[in-house]
């Protein structure tokens, strides 16, 4: 797929079928994460969750978080959930801690975006997944069940898989973010 097509066709897809992508395809998405611009001094980890019970535990935590009345899934039925976790910086100087953690999140964003673009290029759908990440912050047993290393926090995630949803090329909306030029 042309790079331009990948960019315009990437979209947050919220309908998945149950077809599991093969290992080679998942590995390509993970390789894309490693090709992202990542500074080398953060401690990061990628977890690929395909275990339904583990995903259900995170969904249950998210239900509790949003005070849902009945159990529902936040993962849109996707078969694959990839979590980016890392060790947040704890520095005696608050200013240093803040810029280091901002830098960490910046890296996570790059990783997430590379994975989504690679997924699109491979014909897979994807969607970033926030609820099941924030809701496990105070749930060490769920963090363990979904494979986050000890001492690491879940920082970002995507779900991915096969979808019957259309992924048409989208127009660029130049109103979305104001741009200014300093010439
Ligand atoms: C940090 C972040 C967290 C997100 N979390 C969720 C989420 O929990 N559930 C969801 O369905 N979409 C989530 N999204 C997807 C956004 O809703 C989506 O990117 C936005 O509406 C723009 O649509 P697009 O990705 O199709 O361009 C998240 C996106 C970002 C950047």
What is the pLDDT tens value at each position of the chain, 183 positions in all?
Answer: 899 999 999 999 999 998 999 999 999 999 999 999 999 999 999 999 999 999 999 999 999 999 989 888 999 999 999 999 999 999 999 999 999 999 999 999 999 999 999 999 999 999 999 999 999 999 999 999 999 999 999 999 999 999 999 999 999 999 999 999 999
Distances (CA, A) of 10 to 69, 75, 101, 124, 172: 32, 18, 27, 10, 12
Tokens encoding 48: 């690929």
CA of 42 to the centre of ligand 1 (A): 24
Q: Where are the domains of the chain?
A: 3-161
Q: Which of 177, 9, 148 is nearest to 81 (CA)?
A: 148
Determine if ligand 1 sits within 6 Å of the CB of residue 129.
Answer: yes
Question: Domain 3-161 is classified in which CATH homologous superfamily?
Answer: NADH Oxidase (3.40.109.10)
CA of 131 to the centre of ligand 1 (A): 10
Nearest alpha carbon, ligand 1 atom 23: 12
Classified as helix, coil or strand, 153 is strand
CA of 129 to the centre of ligand 1 (A): 7
Determine if ligand 1 sits within 6 Å of the CB of residue 128.
Answer: yes
Nearest alpha carbon, ligand 1 atom 28: 128
**pLDDT reported for residue 163:** 97
CA of 126 to the centre of ligand 1 (A): 10
**pLDDT reported for residue 18:** 87
Nearest alpha carbon, ligand 1 atom 10: 129
**pLDDT reported for residue 125:** 98
How far is 37 from 54, CA to CA, in rounded Å?
Answer: 30
Place of tokens 């100087």: 93
Tokens encoding 170: 């989208």
Q: What are 153's strand-pairing partners?
A: 86
Classified as helix, coil or strand, 98 is helix
């Amino acid at each position: 797929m042309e790079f331009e097509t990948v960019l315009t066709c990437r979209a947050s897809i919220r309908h998945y079928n149950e077809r599991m992508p093969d290992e080679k395809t998942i590995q390509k998405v993970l390789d894309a994460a490693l090709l992202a611009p990542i500074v080398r001094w953060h401690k990061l980890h990628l977890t690929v969750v395909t275990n339904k019970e583990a995903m259900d535990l995170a969904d249950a935590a998210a239900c509790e978080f949003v005070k849902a009345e009945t159990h529902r899934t936040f993962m849109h039925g996707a078969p694959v959930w990839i979590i980016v976790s890392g060790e947040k910086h704890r520095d005696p100087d608050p200013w240093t801690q803040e810029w280091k953690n901002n830098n960490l999140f910046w890296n996570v964003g790059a990783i997430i975006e590379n994975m989504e673009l690679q997924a699109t290029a491979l014909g897979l759908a994807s969607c970033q997944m926030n609820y099941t990440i924030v809701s496990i912050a105070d749930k060490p047993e769920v963090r363990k069940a979904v494979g986050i290393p000890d001492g690491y926090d879940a920082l970002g995630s995507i779900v991915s898989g096969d979808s019957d949803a259309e992924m048409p090329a989208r127009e660029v909306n130049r109103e979305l973010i104001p741009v200014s030029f300093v010439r």
